[in-house]
Amino acid sequence: GTLFSLYFHGLHHDAKYWDAPEEFRARRFAPGQARPVQPFAYVPFGGGPRLCIGMQFALTEMQLVTLELLRLFEIEWVAGQPPATMQPLVTLRPKGDFRVRLRYLSS
């Protein structure tokens, strides 16, 4: 009857597994990195037999939406606001609102 839950945000920000864990460094996941990601140190969709069945769909959808946004817009942080802070719940989300400016890139 014991509820057991892993603290994935803490795992994903643990200095034991990540250099500069609070920095966004997309290259750390690229092939051929000097320090590859440890198995099960990054598990946004779980792992093993309980791996999320929607993982491939979610990854594909994220890539398509991001590529389309970057193709159509220049994205700029609006000056004069504090840095965004994160709120780790079931999913990681911003703690409050923040503003960005989307500038349409005409062809």
pLDDT digits (tens, 9 = 90+) for 23-65: 989 898 888 888 878 888 999 898 889 899 999 999 999 999 9
End-to-end CA distance of the chain: 60
Alpha-carbon torsion (41, 47, 52, 54), positive or negative? positive
Question: Where is 47: in which H helix or E strand?
Answer: none
pLDDT higher than 90, residue 88? no
Q: Quick check: pTM over 0.85?
A: no
The pair of structure tokens assigned to 87 is: 């709120």
CB atoms within 10 A of CB 68: 10
Question: Residue 82's pLDDT is what?
Answer: 95
Average pLDDT (7-21) is: 92
Say what percent of the chain tops pLDDT 70: 99
Q: Please list, in sequence order, all residues whose beta carbon lies within 8 angstroms of the beta carbon of residue 8, skipping any fewer than 6 positions away.
A: 43, 44, 88
Structure tokens at 5: 């839950």
